[in-house]
A and B are shown apart, each in its own frame.
Chain A
Amino acid sequence: MSDSRGQVETRLVYAHGLASIIVLFVSLLFGFFASLEMAAPDSLGASPWLTWGRLRYDHTQGIMLGWLANAFFAFLYHAVPLLTGRRVTSVRLGQWIFGLWNFAIVLPGWILVLAGFSQPLEWAEFPLVIDAFVVLALLLAAIQFLPPFFSRGLEDLYVSSWYIIGGLVFTLLAYPMGNFVPELVPGARGAAFSGLWIHDAVGLFVTPLALAMIYFVIPAATRRPIFSHFLSMLGFWLLFFLYPLNGTHHYVFSVIPMSAQIGAITASTLLGVDVILVVANLLLSLRGAGWLPRDLGLRFVATGTVFYLIVSIQGSVQAQMAVNQSVHFSDWVVGHSHLAMLGFASFAAAGGLIHVWQRIPWARYNAEALEWSYWLLLAGVILMVTDLTVAGLVEARMWQSSAPWIESVRAAGPYWMFRALTFVPIAGGFVALLAGLTTGDPGAGLAAIRDSVGLKPVSEIAPRLAIAESE
C-alpha cells in the first residue's frame, strides 16, 4: 500500500462479502420453500415454522437486509477509501456494524418471524425491535462511510460517491417512515406511507447502492472514464427526485386521493425516461468491452445494467392505469420484483463482489466457477421472470373474465411448479459464485485483472483510482 490514506480494510470487505453469500443461501432456501408450497401445498408438512407467510417474510427480508446489504457494505469498504483517498472512520466500528447487522438484525429477525413475531408490511416484515437495530446500524454506517467524503471535500465527487451518500442518508430517513408510521397511522392513511416505503426500499436503498457499484466497476474495469459525467449527475438528481414520488403506484384505483395516484403514475413514467438516460450513459461507457466482457465483475455489472433498463421500463408500463387495472395483484408484479432484485440488484452486487475480490491480494478467486455462476444465474433469472410474466398475464385474463376465482389458481399451477424448478439454476449459480470466491488460488484475482480488458492505462482515468491500482 503506497498511500495509507486510502487504505482499504480488506478484512471487512471479505467478512461482509462472505456473509452476504451465506445469508443469500438461507434467503434463497426460504424463497424456494415458499415457491414449493405454492406449487405443491402441504409438501413441507404443516408446521407453523414453515408456513408460507413466514417463509415469504424471511425470503424478502433476507434478500434485502441480508444478501444485498452485506454485499453493499463489502463494496463500500472497498470503494469509499478509493473514492475519497481516506480511510473509513474506524475498523472497530466496522466490526460492530458487521456484528449488529448479521447477529442483531438478520439472524434474530429471521428467527422471530418464524416464531411468529413480525409486522405485515411489505419490505418491513421484521418486527419493530429489529427495526430499531436497523436504524441504529444505518446510523453507524453513516458515521462509518460518510465522514471520508466530507473531510475530503465535496468538490469533483465521482457519481458513485453521490449515490453512496444519497443511498445512506435517504435510507436512514425512509426506513423509519416505512416501518414505524403505518403502525401509528391506521388503514388507508397508513397505506399511503407503506406505498412510499415499498418503493423507497428499492429506489432509495437498493438502487443507489447498486448503481454506485455499477458506476464504480465500469470505469475501474475498463480503465476508461465514464462516458459523460454530466449525464451521470443529471441521472442522479432525477432519480433522487423521482424515486420517492413513485410509492402510491402500488395502490392505484384505491381510496387514496386520485391526484396522489396520478402524480405517482406520472413520476413512474418519467422515471422510466430517466433510467433510459442513466443506462445509455452506462452502456456508452461500456463501448469496447464487447458484448460479453472478459472481466467477470464487469460482465455481471453490465448484465445488471441491461436488467435495470428492462425492469424500469417494465415498471413504468405496469404503473399505467390501463395496464395496472388488470395486472396489479398478479404474478407479473412478482416477476417484476425478481427482475429488479435478482436481475438488476443481485447481478450488480455479484459483479461488485467479484470486482472487489479480485483486488484483495490474499483472497481466493476461481474464474471458471464464476463463469458457471454467470450463465446459471442468467438462465435462472430469465426463465423465472418469463414464467412469472406469463403467469401474471394468464391470471389477469382470468380475473377480467367471469370465471370463478379458483380457476385462476388452477391456471397458475403449472407456472408455479416451473417457478419452483428455476431454483435449480439459480441456486447452482450462487453455489458457483461462492465457489468462485472461496476456491482457486489466492491472488488469482489480481492475475485476472491483468488478463482482462484494460482499454487505457489506469492513470488516465482518475488520479484517485490510480492510487488504488498501483497497490
Chain B
Amino acid sequence: MRRALRMSYLAAAVGGLGFFAMSVLLLGVWPGRALEHQIHATSPEHPLALSASEQRGRAIYAREGCAYCHTQQIRYLSSDVSRFGAATLAWETIFDYPHLWGTRRIGPDLSREASIRPEDWQFSHLYAPRALVADSVMPAFPWLFDGAPDRPRQEGRDLVAYLETLGRDRALAGPEGEAHARTACNCSDDERRFAFAALNASPAMARRTGEHPRLDASQDLSHGKELYAQYCAACHGLRGEGDGPGSAGLHPRPANLAEHEYTLDRLSASLWNGVAGTAMPGWRDLAPRDLSAIAQVVRGFHAVQPEPSLPSDVLELGARVYADRCAQCHGEKGGGDGSAAGQFSIAPADLRSGRPSMAASLRALRNGVDGTPMAPWNRELSEAELSAVAYFVRGFFQQ
C-alpha cells in the first residue's frame, strides 16, 4: 500500500513536470520550428543586418522601455494593417535579440517607422516630443543631445539610426521580395491578405489608398482652427508663420503659410501625402471634411495685398533670368517639373499651385532655402535681376 502510494506520487511528480514540458514544447519549441520554416521560405536571401551604430541604438531603445509603449508587431487585423501597414512577417524579426514586440500601445506601432518620418523630425521629437506633437505623453530625451535638437550626441544618433531600420528590410525586399514571400508563405488566404496588403504605404502612412481628395471651400472655420491648433500649430505656428515650438530643429523649416498663397488642390496633396523629404507627414487619418477645414484655415493666413504693376522690361528681364537659371529645376511653366527636378529628394517648389509673397520670393532667391537644394543666388545675379525674377515667378500661380 505504502509503495503504491509512493509510486503514485512519483507519477504525479512526473506528470506535473510533464505539464510544464508540454507547454514549452507546444507553445515554444513547436511554433519556433514552424516559424523557422516560414522564415526560411519567405525571407530575402540576404536581409540587411544592423550596423554597429544601429545595434547600439537598439540597446538604447531597449533600455529606455520604448517597446513598452510602442509595439513592433503589426497584427493580422484590418485595424492594424490600415493604420500601420502590412502585418509583420517572421523573417523581419530575425535580428531581434531579444524581440521588442511589446504588449502595450500607448504610442503608435513603429514597425514601419523608417519610411514615415525623416531624421530631423525624429531628433526634434526625441528632444522635446510635445514641441511637435502637443498632446504626446512621450518622455523627452534631452540627455541624448547637446542642448539643441539638431545637435544630437552619439547616443541620439545611434537611436535614430536604429529607428531608421524599422521596416527597412521589408521595403528593400521590394515588389519582387513581396511576391516571393507571398508565394512561399504557408499561410491562409486571410493571413496572406493582411500580410501582403497592397497599400499606398508611402511616404507617410498606410491608411487609405488612392489619390488625394478634392477639398471644397465652404467650411466650418472654428472646427478648422481647432484642428489646426491640434495638429499643425506645433510646427507651422499659431499664425502660420512656420515658427511653432517644433520648428527649430527641422530642416527645411516648416512652410511659412502666411507668406504663401496655395491652391486647394496643392493643400490637399500636401495634407494627403505629406511632403517628401521634409518633416511634413501625410494626414490621411483625417476625413476629407477635416482636411477641407484645415485648408481653409491655412488659406486664411495669407493676407491679400495689392499687386504692384511693373514695367514690361522688368518682366522680360525676369523671364530671361528664369529661363536661364531656374527653369531647369522649376520647369518652364513653373510647375516644379524641370528636367533636373527628378534628382532631388525634395521636389523643387511648384510655383503654379503656391505663390510666395514678394518678400518671401526675394528672400528665397537671395539666401536660398535651408535644408533644400535651392541655393542662394545673390552672388550670381544682380539686384535688378533678383527683383525681376522674384516678381516674375509669382506670375505662374494658377496658370
Hey, which bits of chain A sit against chain B, CB under 8 A? 37-38, 41-42, 46-48, 51-54, 56-57, 116-122, 154-155, 166, 169-170, 173-174, 177, 181-196, 198, 204, 237, 240-241, 244-245, 247-248, 250-258, 260, 263-264, 325-326, 328-330, 333-334, 399-400, 402-406, 409-410, 413, 416
Contacts and interface: CB of A to CB of B under 8 A. Distances in A.
B323 interface: no
B66 interface: yes
B107 A51 contact: no
A194 B90 CA distance: 15
Given A41-B129, A53-B66, 20 more contacts: A41-B137, A51-B65, A120-B63, A120-B68, A174-B20, A190-B96, A191-B93, A191-B101, A198-B103, A244-B19, A244-B24, A245-B22, A245-B26, A247-B27, A247-B28, A254-B73, A326-B79, A404-B231, A406-B133, A409-B107
Contacts of B87: 255
Category for how many chain B residues contact A: 35 or more
B104 A334 contact: yes
Given A51-B64, A403-B285, A194 B79 contact: no
Contact of A53 (B26, B94, B139, B143): B139
B223 interface: no
Contacts of A42: 130, 140
B137 A416 contact: yes
Given A53-B139, A409-B106, A196 B32 contact: no
A244 B21 CA distance: 9
Interface string B166-197: 00000000000000000000001001000100
B27 A192 contact: yes
Contacts of A402: 207, 285, 287
Contact of A41 (B105, B139, B231): B139
B359 interface: no
Contacts of B129: 41
B344 interface: no
A42 B137 CA distance: 9
Nearest to B9: A154
B137 A256 contact: no
A56 B27 CA distance: 27
Nearest to B143: A48
Contacts of B26: 245, 260, 263
The 8 nearest A-B residue pairs measured at CB: A53-B65, A187-B93, A244-B23, A329-B105, A182-B98, A253-B75, A120-B62, A404-B285
Contacts of A187: 90, 92-96, 99
Interface in B87-137: 87-90, 92-108, 129-130, 133, 135-137
A53 B68 contact: yes
Given A51-B64, A117-B63, A255 B88 contact: yes
B350 to A, nearest CB: 26
B195 to A, nearest CB: 8
Contacts of B22: 244-245
A413 B75 contact: no
In the complex, which of the residues B83, B96, B98, B137 has the most CB atoms of chain A within 10 Å of its own CB atom? B98
B77 A192 contact: no
Chain A facing B: main interface SS: helix
A250 B140 contact: no
Contact of A46 (B93, B142, B285): B142
Contacts of B90: 187-189, 255
B45 to A, nearest CB: 18
B371 interface: no
B98 A122 contact: no
A323 to B, nearest CB: 13
A56 B65 contact: yes
A51 B31 contact: no
18 contacts: A41-B138, A52-B65, A53-B68, A54-B63, A116-B63, A122-B103, A155-B2, A173-B20, A182-B99, A186-B98, A187-B99, A189-B31, A190-B98, A193-B24, A255-B35, A257-B31, A257-B35, A328-B75
Contacts of B230: 406
Interface in B2-39: 2, 5-6, 9, 16-17, 19-20, 22-24, 26-28, 30-32, 34-36, 38
B141 interface: yes
Nearest to A122: B103
A121 to B, nearest CB: 6
Contacts of A182: 97-99
B71 interface: yes
Contact of B16 (A51, A240, A255): A240
B286 interface: yes
Contact of A410 (B75, B94, B95, B135): B135
